[in-house]
Amino acid sequence: MWGKIVYVFIITIMTYILKQLLSETPNYVKFQSKFLAFYIWTSVTSLFMLPFFVLNARSVLNSLYGSQIIKHVTKLIQIKWVLRNGEILMEDRGAVIVSNHQCSMDILGMFNIWHVAGKIAAVAKKELFYFWPFGLAAYLAGVVFIDRNNSKDAYKTLKTTSDVMIKKKTKLWIFPEGTRNKHFKKLLPFKNGAFRIAIAAQVHIIPVVISPYYYINSKKYIFNKGHNIIQCLEPVPTAGLTMDDVPKLREEIKSIMENVYKELSEEVLSALPPDYPLATQD
């Protein structure tokens, strides 16, 4: 008897999910399915790649190989990534990349342009490490995990990584906002870490700006097909700068990135119909 009840329950749930996925109106199931597809594909790929990553543990090249598989989920969830000034990332030298951070899809954007830069060591919050198998695969692929609540410890971790950045000409990708920004109109205040590391290593800072996710509206459960522009800005040299220059450097780069973010916002939003269901974020 219980077997029949469980069977009927499973069939009912599956029917409901299928109905929601096929529905033409936005709903919670359709909305979450896009994120779920990304998470599942990332986890499966991570599990498959783990044995290979172990053979060359902590190599940033592992990230390059893994990203080339994971990025194909982009077609399934119908996102297009447009890279501008990508030749800046191709330069064979150590550098600190600073980018705005809006949602988990930023990682997918990185995966889609990873092959351009080649050697990148991404910086992530330590909590991400515990999302196995992805967290373990990321660790073996050279991702640097830091404690966002302990700035001194985070800086020490980044300082150690900067030696590898210089010797192996690796680019360190950091989100200086420190957390996801839910605002369309402006960037969050930048933290000092990325700029201190760049000055300490005397390497260039490469600002990278990702346009807003206009096609995602979490309040209305909308995840349409869409595109993002990833624009690389001119590298900013740090040669000759000292730690006293950090505040000025930080604010100058933030200002440049914020202006470009506004320009990209106007570009992508101007092409949308007047009744497009944009998220209303202050």
Please report whether residue 128 resides in a domain.
Answer: yes
Give the C-alpha distances (Å, rounded to integers) separating 16 from 7, 30, 33, 76, 117. Answer: 14, 12, 14, 22, 44
28-40, pLDDT tens digit by residue?
999 999 999 999 9
12 exposed, middle or buried (CB, 10 Å; 0-12, 13-18, 19+)?
A: exposed
Distance CA 110, CA 230 (A): 9
Query: Range of 255's domain?
Result: 25-270
pTM: 0.92
Please report whether residue 276 resides in a domain.
Answer: no
Please report whether residue 9 resides in a domain.
Answer: no
203-243, pLDDT tens digit by residue?
999 999 999 999 999 889 999 999 999 999 999 999 999 99
Please report whether residue 16 resides in a domain.
Answer: no
Question: What's the pLDDT at 282?
Answer: 41
What CATH number has the domain bearing residue 229? Answer: 3.40.1130.10
Please report whether residue 275 resides in a domain.
Answer: no
State the distance between the two ends of the chain, measured CA to CA, in whole angstroms: 54
Please state whether the peptide bond connecting residue 212 to the residue before it is cis, i.e. omega within 30 degrees of 0. Answer: no
Query: Which DSSP symbol is given to 30?
Result: H
Q: Between vectors from CA 123 to CA 119 and to CA 127, what angle results, nearest 5°?
A: 140
Question: What's the pLDDT at 1?
Answer: 65
| Overall domain count for the chain | 1
Q: What rounded mean pLDDT belongs to the chain?
A: 89
Question: What's the pLDDT at 163?
Answer: 73
41-72, pLDDT tens digit by residue?
999 999 999 999 999 998 989 999 999 999 99
173-186, pLDDT tens digit by residue?
999 998 888 777 78
Mean pLDDT in residue range 145-158: 73
Task: Select the more confidently predicted residue: 256 or 9.
Answer: 256
Please report whether residue 10 resides in a domain.
Answer: no
22, amino acid identity? L
Query: Which DSSP symbol is given to 233?
Result: P
